Structure 1
Amino acid sequence: MKKYLLPLLLLLSLNAQAQESLEPQPLDDLMSPDEIAEESGFPRTEIPIVVKSIDDIARTESMDIFREFRVILIINKKAAGVGAQRMRVYLNGFLTYDWLVSTGRERWETAKSGRTYFSVTPTGYFYPYMLNKDHYSETWKTPMPYAVFFNGGIAVHATTPGLYKQLGSRASGGCVRLQHENAAFIFNRIQTEGRGLVPVINRNGTVSRDRRGNVIRRVNYRTLIIVEDR
């Protein structure tokens, strides 16, 4: 029996490697986020900034954002430690899911396109501005499934099964990668909750107010995406 076990394991390993090699490379490894944005006519990607924590907002802005947004995604992009490389999903104010993700590798590198860029997932508070279930690069003939764009060419999106083992580490070109079923859930939930009148929260976490101190509200997705590094 043992003499057949090793060849069988070797065959299974080779099959897995072959399957992985057939999977398309993630688009954010082939192109920089700015190139993804340029190809689709999206806004330019914003750089990282220092952001307030949710507790800071509650204390200094007198606002409970969990009451203001139907969906809140808190992405912790730190490299290691408690809560690192995870997405906490709040639905109607309640922590509902806590998933592994991969954010930017945080280094200078050259995409397959030839452009040199720093592969970072910028910190800040964001609203989704474009949802595309079947985003596709005509340049590279490569899909980016269940893409929720929130900062230029940076999106929350599904990764390929061959890269699931990288989840929990900094491994992307700047996007936030998730398992396929998790990305599909997020995409569909954001679509379902749709748009409504929500407070205008600036990228650093401050709340926009008028001259009288009233919170400024605008129609936007009822979803808030927070990228933190703490």
Structure 2
Amino acid sequence: MNRIAFTVLGVAILCLLPIIGAAAPLIAKVDVSNQTMTVIQDGQVAHTWPVSTARKGKWTPRGAWTAKWLSRHHRSSRYDNAPMPFSIFFNGHYAIHGTNQIDRLGRPASAGCIRLHPDHAAVLFEMTRTVGLQNMKVIVHN
């Protein structure tokens, strides 16, 4: 009987791993249609900030990713060495980062990245460093 119980328990754990793994201590949820980011930490809304995503003719990818790497003083290799402070890269060259064009936050203005006020980007960057890249999820939806 113990062998059957352990087998059932093992199968149950294997089935639940994707569900358990989907929960992250830190989530940056970006709503492209509203140009907002909601930061959720340990299941609670910690911040809601305006963002800028892709302007007309450009694209911000939709989906869910785990943060890949951080760059505190990043500069764009694609767009004239533009400053991208507090970058959190999540999908290839796409990142969440600070911008010096804060007057454009709340409406589409980027080449595809997710722009934040530099103060907000610094907060999210530090939160990500604290929980670890593997525990930070980026979700982008319409």
TM-score range normalised by the length of the shorter chain: 0.7 to 0.9
Residue 74 of structure 2 aligns with which residue?
135
What CA deviation, in whole Å up to 9, does each residue of 1:128-160 have, x standing for no partner? Answer: 111000113467344311000111111000000
Residue 139 of structure 2 aligns with which residue?
226
> Is residue 84 of structure 2 the alignment partner of residue 144 of structure 1?
yes
CA RMSD between the two structures:
2.1
Residue aligned with 1:69, SS: coil
Q: Give 5+ residue unaligned stretches, structure 1.
A: 1-61, 79-83, 108-118, 196-220
Once residues 124 and 108 of structure 2 are traced to their aligned partners in structure 1, the CA distance between those partners, rounded to angstroms, is: 21
Q: Deviation of residue 168 (structure 1)?
A: 0.7
Percent identity among equivalent residues?
A: 33
Q: Deviation of residue 173 (structure 1)?
A: 0.6
Q: Choose 1 or 2 for highest CA Rg.
A: 1
Higher strand content, 1 or 2:
2
Matched letter for residue 87 of structure 2: A
Residue 180 of structure 1 aligns with which residue?
118
> Is residue 25 of structure 2 the alignment partner of residue 85 of structure 1?
no
Q: Deviation of residue 165 (structure 1)?
A: 1.6
Query: Which residue, out of 50, 55, 80, partners 1:100?
Result: 50
Query: Which residue, out of 122, 126, 132, partners 2:61?
Result: 122
Q: Give 5+ residue unaligned stretches, structure 2.
A: 1-17
Which structure exhibits the higher relative contact order, with contacts defined as CA atoms closer than 8 Å and separated by 6 or more residues?
A: 2
Once residues 46 and 20 of structure 2 are traced to their aligned partners in structure 1, the CA distance between those partners, rounded to angstroms, is: 18
Once residues 189 and 134 of structure 1 are traced to their aligned partners in structure 2, the CA distance between those partners, rounded to angstroms, is: 17
TM-score w.r.t. length of structure 2: 0.80
Matched letter for residue 94 of structure 1: Q
Query: Which residue, out of 113, 131, 134, partners 1:193?
Result: 131
Q: Deviation of residue 63 (structure 1)?
A: 3.6
Count of residues in correspondence between the two structures = 125
TM-score w.r.t. length of structure 1: 0.50
Runs of 4+ in 1 over 4 A off after TM superposition: none
Residue aligned with 1:185, SS: helix
